[in-house]
Amino acid sequence: MFNALIVSKDDEGKTSAAVEQIGIDDLPEGEVTVSVEYSTVNYKDGLCIGPGGGLVRNYPHVPGIDFAGTVEASDDDRYKPGDKVVLTGWRVGEAHWGGYAQKARVKADWLVPLPDGLDTRQAMAVGTAGFTAMLAVMALEDHGIRKGPVLVTGAAGGVGSVATAILANLGHEVAGVTGRPETEEYLKSLGASRIVPREEINETTKRPLEGETWGGCVDAVGGAMLARVLGQMEYGASVAAVGLAGGAALPATVIPFLLRGVNLLGIDSVMQPYDNRLRAWQRIAKDLPMDKLESMVQPATLGDLPKLGADILKGQVKGRVVVDVK
């Protein structure tokens, strides 16, 4: 028997989460059984621990959209017991049982070998949020980062913190948008040289174009902020759209695309092809300073998850939570 965070739904449709003991036979089918060492808390985890957000198909459910650990048993030639692995995406923790348990059973195709230079704890300090931040930076690079500062929205959150640290380490000037002024020192310690208060950039404007300010943008917020940022991009610059912490609507005009050649790049981490996953994890090991990563970490255990899930939905989690599942 081992520990798992089980989310149940009652007859009235209300969900509740608690740590319970389950057995190996309770796990879903899959080729590889992993002894989970660490998981983390992403925005989607908040939904899956709590109301479900249309993501969870069946209850009882084990959330946790990412995990890192050691292979315990494998029916697939690519993995053998003792291998260190990491998993993000593929709707694990939503449609399939996830990482908030001491063991997980998954498809071999969903796993990535732990990259050299990272241990399982560091891999989950990065987690889906950091992996996605890396994908966003890679997409900006592929399209060319321009002269001006790179803007990171939702900067004190998980995606934003990792994007800030990577971009600064790569030598870019980084401006971080935050609604939490108390995180200024933290963001500067990650490498942001400028803090933009959320209210300065959160409102819609009638002007489709403003001054050409940003040489690139990693956007975790969406909504009115993304619409506004599009009109502030330098000629030919790109915005990597990662998240919707501020809303899914996009109240924008096409003018920045037509008159300034601005690019809006969609970033999806869930169905990302294997080769690009490897490339992103290798870049993380190389381009994300581990001392900066450590400064983002807030440790937690399975029992802390119901509260942390609610906190992240309110935008109150700073940096990255690392859940010690062992």
Binding-site ranges for ligand NDP (CB under 6 A): 42-44, 128-129, 132, 154-160, 178-180, 183, 198, 220-221, 225, 242-246, 267-270, 312, 315, 317
In terms of CB distance, is 34 or 245 closer to ligand NDP?
245
Q: At closest approach, how far in Å is the CB of 1 from ligand NDP?
A: 31
At its nearest, how many Å lie between ligand NDP and the CB of residue 11?
Answer: 30
CA atoms of 109 and 86, how far apart (whole Å): 12
- C-beta closer to ligand NDP: residue 208 or 247: 247
Task: Name the minimum Å distance from CB 12 to ligand NDP.
Answer: 27
Contact in structure between 178 and 198 (CB atoms under 8 Å): yes
Choose between 115 and 176: whose C-beta lies nearer to ligand NDP. 176
Residue whose beta carbon is closest to ligand NDP: 157
Tokens encoding 32 = 């590889």
Is residue 323 within 8 A of residue 124, CB to CB? The reply is yes
Q: For tokens 């899959």, what's the residue?
A: 30
Question: CA nearest 56: which of 65, 48, 67?
Answer: 48
Strands 320-324 vs 297-301: parallel, antiparallel or unpaired: parallel
Distance of closest approach, residue 142 Cβ to ligand NDP, in angstroms: 16
Q: What minimum distance in Å lies between the beta carbon of 195 and ligand NDP?
A: 9
What residues pair up with 110 in beta bridges, in sequence order?
Answer: none
Size of the chain, expressed as the number of residues it contains: 326
Q: Which helix (H) or strand (E) holds 259?
A: helix 255-260
Answer yes or no: are the C-beta atoms of 299 and 319 closer than 8 Å: no
Do the Cβ atoms of 68 and 120 come closer than 8 Å?
Answer: yes
Min dist. Cβ of residue 41 to ligand NDP (A): 8
Of 33 and 238, which CB lies nearer to ligand NDP in the complex structure? 238
Residue with tokens 């966003």: 136
Q: Strand order of the sheet with strand 150-152?
A: 194-197, 174-178, 150-152, 216-219, 238-241, 263-266
Nearer to ligand NDP, 73 or 297 (CB): 297
Q: How far is CA 23 from the centre of its chain?
A: 30
Residue 62 DSSP SS3? coil
Q: Which residues make beta-bridge pairs with 63?
A: none
We find the least distance from the C-beta atom of residue 33 to ligand NDP, in angstroms, to be 26
- Residue appearing with tokens 């230079």: 117
Residue 49 or 71 having the CB closest to ligand NDP: 49
Nearest approach, Cβ of 63 to ligand NDP (angstroms)?
14
State which residue, 243 or 309, has the beta carbon closest to ligand NDP: 243
**Beta strand pairing call for 2-9 and 15-22:** antiparallel
The one-character DSSP state at 92 is: B
Smaller CB separation from ligand NDP, 17 or 135? 135
Query: Side chain identity at 250, as an amino acid letter?
Result: L
Taking the least distance from each CB to ligand NDP, the nearer of 70 and 298 is: 298
| Minimum distance from residue 68 beta carbon to ligand NDP (Å) | 16
